[in-house]
A and B are shown apart, each in its own frame.
Chain A
C-alpha cells in the first residue's frame, strides 16, 4: 500500500502514424500523454470530444490493442502498468456500428463471451445463462432474450452490446460513439442507462462522442482533442457536475447543466478555432 498506485491506463508520448513512409502517411495521434488513476470502488468516466478525424477512435483502439492499429508508432500504451500486447476481456468495447452476432439469439450473444473464456471462468451452462439473464434484466431486454438481432431496434442492439460487455466484468470500457446512430429519444434513454450501470460496475470508461451535452451529462472529466495529429488540447474536470440519478431531460433543464455546456463549447472553440465537434 506504500507505493503510488499504478494507473489503469497510461499513455506515454504516444504517436500513431498510419501508412508510415508512404505518400498516404497520416499521423492520427502525436505526443499523447496521460494517466488515469484507478479510483477505488468507483472508476472514472472520461468523455472525449474532438473534431472529425482527430484520432479519438485511434486512442480507443490502441487501448483495446486491435491488430492493425496497435502498437503505437512511438511511445507506450500501458494498462495497469503493462504494455498492451493485444485485445483482452479486461477491456470491453462498444462500437457505433451494431455488432450483435447475427446468428445468435440475444441470450446467446450475452453468454458468448462467458463461453469463449469457459475454461478460465469455469461457469456451468446454467450459471452462464443466469449471469446473462441478470445483465439482460439490467439493460431491460428480458422479454427479448430469444430474439435474433435483426428483430431488434438500434437501441436494443446497443443494449445487447452493453450487456454482452458487462457480463465479463471488464475493468475498462471503451465506447466509440455508441449512440451516434440512434434517434434522440433513444439516445437519451441509453445515456441514462449508462450512468446507472457504470456506477455499479465501477469500471474506468472512455467515451468518444460528438455531443457536448452527452459529454457533460456522462463525463467526470472531459477531454477536448485538437485537430490531427490529435492530443488532449484541454482537460475539464471542475465545473462538470454529476447528474447521477437524474434523467437526461431533467438534468439538461438545470442551470448548472446549461452553463457547463456553454463553458465546454467555449473551450472547444478556443482549442479548435471555432470548429464544431463531430
Chain B
C-alpha cells in the first residue's frame, strides 16, 4: 500500500471517490436523523428538516421569497462595495509600496485598521450611514480596504529589486518604474488578492444583511430563522456556496487569460 507514503500521488478517479465519501456520510447522517414521520424522528423537523423537505421548499423560496431578486441584490452590493474599496486600496497600496514617505504616512493607520474586527463595522456603519444601500456599500468598501491594502502592498514589496535596477539601467523614469515594472510584475498577485477578497466580501455582505436589510440573501436567512420555513436557510446556504464557487471560477478564468505566463508554473 502506498497510502502512507509521504507525497505519493493518488490516481484521479481514486481521489474523486475519496472526496465523495465524507459528503455521502454527511448526507447519510442527515437522512438517518430525519427519517420517518415527524414524531418518530431522532431530531424533530423544527430542529432539522429532512432533505426531501428542504428540496420541496424550493418553489416557495423562488416564488414567494423572490430568490433570484435577492441573489442579484446581494451580488450588486458586493460588486459596488468591492469597486469602491478597490478604488481606494489599489492606488493607496501602490503608492505606499513604491514611496517610503507615503508608506510612513499611512502604515500606522493601516496597521490599526488591520486589527479591527470586521463585524463591529456593521453597527458602526449603521449609525453613520443609516439602514439603506449606502450603509451596505460603505460597510463592504471599508472591509475591502482593510482586507486588500496589506495584500497590495505585499504584492509590490515582493517584486525583486533586480527588476527595478534593470529598468533604471534601461532608462526608466520613476513613473515608468512604478507602472511598468512594480505594478506590472505584481499584477498577478494583486489580481489574486482581489479574487480572494471578492470571496470574502460575499461572506461580509450576508453579515450586513442579517443585521439590517429589507432584501438580500442574508435577509432571507434571518427571516426564515425567525418565522420559518427553516428549510429556506439550508437552501440559501447551498445557493450562496454555488454563487461564490461560480464567481470564483470566473475570476480564475479571467486570470488565466490575463496571465498566461503564470499558468505554466
Taking Cβ atoms with an 8 Å cutoff, the residues of A that contact B are 64, 66, 86-89, 91-93, 95, 97, 99, 101-103, 112-113, 116-117, 148-151, 161, 164-165, 168, 170, 174
Partner of B180 from the list A116, A117, A149, A150 (CB cut-off 8 Å) is A116
A95, B162: Cβ atoms under 8 Å? yes
Partner of B171 from the list A103, A117, A148 (CB cut-off 8 Å) is A117
Interface centre among A87, A91, A113, A170 (most CB of B within 10 A): A87
B169, A101: Cβ atoms under 8 Å? no
Interface of chain B residues 142 through 193 with chain A (CB within 8 A): 160, 162-163, 165-173, 176, 180-181, 184-185, 187-188
Taking Cβ atoms with an 8 Å cutoff, the residues of B that contact A are 160, 162-163, 165-173, 176, 180-181, 184-185, 187-188, 259-261, 264-265
Complex alpha-carbon distance, A162 and B187, angstroms: 26
Partner of A113 from the list B171, B173, B264, B265 (CB cut-off 8 Å) is B171
Across the interface, which residues of A come within 8 angstroms of B165, CB to CB? Answer: 64, 66, 87, 93, 95, 99
Across the interface, which residues of A come within 8 angstroms of B167, CB to CB? Answer: 112, 116
Partner of B170 from the list A116, A148, A150 (CB cut-off 8 Å) is A116
Given known A66-B165, A89-B170, A91-B169, contact A97–B264 (CB-CB < 8 A)? no
Inter-chain contact count A-B, CB under 8 Å? 75
Nearest A residue to B186 via CB reads A103
Complex alpha-carbon distance, A150 and B263, angstroms: 11
CB distance from B181 to the nearest CB of A (A): 7
New contact pairs (17) apart from A95-B165, A102-B261, A116-B171, CB-CB < 8 Å: A86-B168, A87-B168, A88-B169, A89-B170, A92-B169, A92-B170, A93-B166, A101-B185, A103-B187, A112-B180, A116-B172, A116-B173, A116-B176, A148-B261, A149-B261, A161-B166, A164-B170
CB distance from A176 to the nearest CB of B (A): 10
Complex alpha-carbon distance, A103 and B181, angstroms: 9
Complex alpha-carbon distance, A116 and B185, angstroms: 16
Complex alpha-carbon distance, A64 and B260, angstroms: 33
Smallest CB-CB A-B distances: 4 pairs: A89-B171, A113-B170, A87-B168, A148-B261
A88, B171: Cβ atoms under 8 Å? yes
Across the interface, which residues of B come within 8 angstroms of A164, CB to CB? Answer: 166, 170
B170, A168: Cβ atoms under 8 Å? yes
Nearest B residue to A96 via CB reads B162
